[in-house]
Chain A
Amino acid sequence: MLDTAKTRWHPVAATYDLPFRHVFHAQLLGREFAVWRADDGYVNVWENRCLHRGVRLSIGINDGRELKCQYHGWRYSNRTAGCTYIPAHPADAPARTITNRTFAAVERYGLIWSAEEPQGEVPELPGLAEGELLTLRGIPVNAPADVVAARLEGYRFQPNGRTDGSDAKVSVEASNEFSVALRAVDGEASTLAVFFVQPVDSNRSVIRGVLDGKVEGAVRLAVLHHHNDLLSKLRDIAEHEAQAQPVPAPLEPVIDRVSPELAEMPEETKHGRKATIRVEVARKWQAADGIAGFELRPIKGLLPTFQPGAHIDVHLPNGLIRQYSITNGPGESDSYIIGVKLERDSKGGSTCLHETVRQGDVLAISEPRNNFPLRRDAMKTIFVAGGIGITPLLAMAQALSNQSLNFELHYFAQNEAQLAFPEKTACLGTSLKPHLGLSPEQTGARLREILSGYRSDAHLYLCGPGPMLEAARHVAAEAGWPETAVHFEYFKNTNVIDDSSSFEVALARSCVTLKVPAGRTILDVMREAGIDMPSSCEQGACGTCLATVIEGEPDHQDVYLNDAERKSGTKIMTCVSRAKSARLVLDL
């Protein structure tokens, strides 16, 4: 009988069970849930199990935006339950497959409703009006749901305001195997009580009652006590009855390995750059002088999990593809917010977004990729943003701020009007340090101040225009910052690409050898041979098409790798870089 109930909505918690930054421990039909409300109000119902070591997430920490496992600190995002950070791998972006199982969550009648495989909507209850009702204390009972439901049909109570009396007429208005609606009438007074029996396990239930009509103050407390006393008695009787029966075996929920959607290999397409997500421009506004803000909401479902530093490809109506960093803080998972600067020498990307794309338009975007991951194990983190370079660093700064970690965000701009997303930066307090109207020389001097006194537990993140990045990397190197502590992201690759060489590429895993002629890229040639390599900017800036070099000497032409990575000769950006040797063996 209980199996069929998997498709039926059940209450699993009450609204009062989800106070600020708490994680409620729920269970339905043997399956445990970690239920938590994020600061934005969203109610998460998740498998109660960290994907790492299986520890219950209900003992984890709700920081308002993410849920952190108590055991090894894995962090999962509000809404998507995607992992955003693994402390043991501080330099890496967690794989998208590390996404916990989520369940439906609907808040209605002062209760949180869920189901394993819900069909239809949460039942409409005639007679119960939202905001005009009283949710009773949930009563856990060590008895099967059907035993409890049968007892509830005989439940006798007094209507609100008449709880002193004892002679109300009670009638059953409706009932099914998991709920009973009763009405008590005493003279003028009449109260509808609807009881839901939450099947926790084969031998455990919770009685969740809702009364119509709003009562206040002492009457409210009297009503709550009245039902609590009566339901406790009913509980004792039901438990006594259940004890006389043989104890049924506990239900054993099946724990999914990973959702089929995530486990599935992506579809093969001719073009390597995929835009599988459709979003609506929910809002377009001026985020600063010359910078347009776009809020992109999914047409259906949830957006994939992002991590600070991640970017998306935006496929524009004019056919161009551009990359934009996600500026959202942690857990802000209902939309992506990007900032687009109108470039004077725009080749059509920023102009299109500024002039053509309007609120309400639909855009195709890629899943977020994170080639600029943020470590959260530094004792001090310095962010240096130049102009629109603020966007990835803003997401990072918000993540550190949310965890009360130590950071400074140095934001270089021409003037105050050019400081983007003031509503977001305002939340960063004194960690935000604007530097306005400085000449290149003054900027260099300021960077020397900021980057002096390197300490071994510090990390530096840079994003801005090319010349400023070069200057900052130079200053950092002079000040003793090792390359491993300096992380950067260029907007674009301004190197002149020399594609005159021709060479051979051997793909070790695929057992394929390809010829790359002058004028074509490794990426192109691989795609033509049917090898599906992810890519994004295709100009050597974003880091998406990175491959590992096993043998041969790369001819680096990108701006993604740092000098140490280049010298090591073990990595290559396949969209622009080539080979100095006649043959290159890649780990693909």
Chain B
Amino acid sequence: MITLYDYELSGNCYKLRLLMGMLGVDWTTVPIDFYPGREHKSEWFLKINPLGQLPVIEDDGLVLRDAQAILVYLASKYDAVGTWYPRDNPALLGEIGQWLAFADGITGTASAARLHDALFYDFDVEAARAGAHRLFRILDEHLWFGEQEGRDWICSASHPTIADIACFPYIMLSEEGGVPRQDYPAIRRWCDRVKRIKGFTVMSGVFPAGPAKAA
């Protein structure tokens, strides 16, 4: 079984819980006292991940760090239908890779602002917020034109991919870092769509959406 080194309030850990829930994969959790214990910087944990970051998984003897890398691994291994990370579609894989990097950008901005506000990290919060707004503007425009073209998801596919899962958590938690989403209505609608994916789960600060149209 997969072991997830987890922190409940981490959006990057939530990504993995989210995808594993949607894929119907079982896992066990090793809770890490990220705050205030800084257990991710402890000696024992640095042996698992020398970067001292969450999340990390162990699966069949493989130890893997980095949320985006783990999403790629989980989707490649456990998605029987092969839609979350379609290995036979190079163009789509390229797009997914591009947006996984974008998700890292969101972590570096929106999540940093949240760490500053909620966990008292010593970051330049104004720069982090401005960076988040810059990314959100780009994504909102992308999603708005997607809707005009009949595309519901971040990548050019008729179904969600791990790019949606990678971007979702720190967008949804952005208000906790003082980054309102009022000016990004297309992002807000996309968030509703992500919440309506079968198997969706919540975390502290992420609310469910209403029922979608009956199939």
Of A21, A220, A232, which one neighbours B210 at CB under 8 angstroms?
Answer: A21
In the bound complex, CA of A63 to CA of B189 (Å): 15
Contact A224 B207 (CB under 8 A): no
Q: Is the CB of B141 within 8 A of A21?
A: no
Instruction: Say if the beta carbon of B62 comes within 8 Å of chain A.
Output: no
* B204 part of interface (Cβ distance < 8 Å): no
Given A16-B147, A137-B141, the answer on whether A25 and B182 have CB atoms closer than 8 Å is yes
User: A-facing mask of B6-28, CB < 8 A → 1, else 0?
Assistant: 00000000000000000000000
Whether A21 contacts B212 in the complex (CB less than 8 A), given A27-B182, A138-B185, A140-B183, comes out as yes
Smallest CB separation, A144 vs chain B (Å): 15
Say whether B185 contacts A17, CB under 8 Å.
yes
Q: In the complex, what residue of chain B is closest to A140 when comparing beta carbons?
A: B183
Considering the complex, give the chain B residue whose CB is closest to the CB of A48. Answer: B182
Contact of B213 among A17, A20, A61, A137 (CB under 8 A): A20
Bound CA–CA A62/B192 (angstroms) = 11
CB pair A24–B210 under 8 Å, yes or no, is no
A117-153 toward B: CB 8 Å interface, digit per residue (1/0)?
0000000000000000000011010000000000000
In the bound assembly, the distance between CA atoms of A59 and B145 in angstroms comes to 24
Select one of B182, B207, B210 contacting A62, CB under 8 A. Answer: B210
B176-190 vs A, CB cutoff 8 Å, 1 = contact: the mask equals: 000001110100110
Contact A25 B211 (CB under 8 A): no
Contact check, A404 vs B211: say whether CB atoms are below 8 A apart: yes
Determine whether B94 belongs to the interface, using a CB cutoff of 8 Å to chain A. Answer: no
Q: Tell me if A's interface is mostly helix, strand, loop or mixed.
A: mixed
The answer to whether the Cβ of A221 comes within 8 Å of any Cβ in the partner chain is: yes
Q: Do residues A21 and B213 form an inter-chain contact, with CB atoms below 8 A?
A: yes
Q: Which residues of B lie under 8 Å from residue A64 when comparing CB positions? A: 210-211
- The answer, yes or no, to whether A473 is at the interface (CB within 8 Å) is no
**A residues lining the B interface (CB < 8 Å):** 13, 16-17, 19-22, 24-25, 27, 59, 61-64, 68, 70, 137-138, 140, 220-221, 224-225, 228, 232, 404
Nearest to B210 among chain A residues (CB) is A61
Contact A24–B211 (Cβ < 8 Å): no
Tell me, in angstroms, the Cα distance from A64 to B209 when the chains sit together. 12
Query: Which residue on B lies nearest to A61, using beta carbons?
Result: B210
Please pick, from A16, A61, A221, the residue contacting B208 in the complex, using a CB distance under 8 A. Answer: A61
Contact A24 B185, CB 8 Å, known A224-B145, A225-B145: yes
Question: Do B147 and A25 touch (CB < 8 A)?
Answer: no
Residue of B148, B182, B192, B208 with most partner-chain A CB within 10 A:
B182
Interface residues of chain B, those whose CB is within 8 Å of chain A, are 141, 144-145, 147-149, 181-183, 185, 188-189, 192, 207-213
Residues of B within 8 A of A25 (CB): 181-182, 185, 188
**CA A63 – CA B192 in complex, angstroms?**
13
Q: Which residue of B lies closest to A225 (CB)?
A: B145
Report the minimum CB–CB distance from B156 to chain A (whole Å): 14
Residues of A within 8 A of B185 (CB): 13, 17, 24-25, 138
For this complex, 10 residue pairs linking A to B, each with C-beta atoms less than 8 Å apart, are A17-B189, A19-B189, A21-B213, A61-B208, A64-B211, A68-B210, A70-B207, A140-B183, A221-B148, A232-B141
CA–CA, A128 to B46, complex, Å? Answer: 65
Q: CA separation between A228 and B186, bound complex, in Å? A: 14
Chain B's closest residue to A402 (CB) is B211
In the complex, which residue of chain A has the Cβ closest to the Cβ of B180? A25
Taking each of A22, A64, A404, which has the highest tally of chain B beta carbons within 10 Å of its own beta carbon? A22
Q: How far, in Å, is B17 (CB) from chain A's closest CB?
A: 21
B198 to chain A, nearest CB (A): 16
A17 and B140 CA atoms in complex are apart in Å by 13
Bound-complex Cα distance A82 to B189 (A): 26
Query: Across the interface, which residues of A come within 8 angstroms of B182, CB to CB?
Result: 25, 27
Extra contacts besides A63-B210, A221-B145, A228-B145 (20): CB < 8 Å: A17-B185, A17-B189, A21-B210, A22-B189, A24-B188, A25-B181, A25-B185, A27-B182, A59-B207, A61-B208, A61-B210, A64-B211, A137-B141, A140-B183, A220-B148, A224-B145, A224-B148, A225-B145, A232-B141, A404-B211
- Give the CA-CA distance A138 to B212 in the complex, in Å: 25
Chain B residues contacting A140 (CB-CB under 8 Å) are 183
Which residue of the partner chain A has the closest CB to B188? A25
Which residues of chain B are within 8 angstroms of A70 by Cβ–Cβ distance?
207
In the complex, the chain B residue whose C-beta lies closest to that of A63 is B210
Q: Which residues in B have their C-beta under 8 angstroms from that of A59?
A: 207
Pick the 9 closest A-B CB pairs, nearest first: A140-B183, A61-B210, A21-B210, A25-B182, A70-B207, A62-B210, A63-B210, A17-B185, A137-B144
Q: Which residues of A contact B145 (CB under 8 A)?
A: 137, 221, 224-225, 228
**Inside 8 A of A21's CB, which chain B residues have their CB?**
192, 209-213
The listed residue (A20, A137, A404) touching B212 by CB distance below 8 A is A20
When distances are taken between beta carbons in the complex, the residues of chain A under 8 Å from B212 are 20-21
Give the CA-CA distance A137 to B147 in the complex, in Å: 11
Smallest CB–CB gap between A232 and chain B, Å? 8
> In the bound complex, what is the Cα–Cα distance between A59 and B183 (angstroms)?
14
CA separation between A24 and B187, bound complex, in Å? 11
Residues of chain B lying within 8 A (CB to CB) of residue A220: 148
What A residues does B208 contact at CB under 8 A? 61
Nearest-Cβ distance from residue A449 to partner chain B, whole angstroms: 31
Q: Which residues of B contact A16 (CB under 8 A)?
A: 147
Contact call B148/A22, Cβ cutoff below 8 A: no
Q: Which residues of B contact A221 (CB under 8 A)?
A: 145, 148-149
A137 to B208, CA, bound (A): 27
Q: How far is the CA of A59 from the CA of B213 in the complex (A)?
A: 19
Tell me the minimal C-beta distance from A21 to chain B in angstroms: 5
Which residue of chain B has its CB nearest to the CB of A224?
B148
Please give the distance in Å from A538's CB to the nearest CB on chain B: 42
Task: Report the bound CA distance from A225 to B189 in whole Å.
Answer: 20
- Chain B residues near A61 (CB, 8 Å)? 208-210
Q: How many whole Å from A404's CB to the nearest CB in chain B?
A: 7
Per the bound structure, the CA–CA distance linking A225 and B148 in Å amounts to 11
Complex formed: what's the CA distance from A228 to B147 in Å? 15
- Bound Cα distance A451, B192 (Å): 41
Expressed in whole angstroms, the minimum distance between the Cβ of B214 and any Cβ of chain A is 10
Complex alpha-carbon distance, A24 and B207, angstroms: 15
Contact A22 B141 (CB under 8 A): no
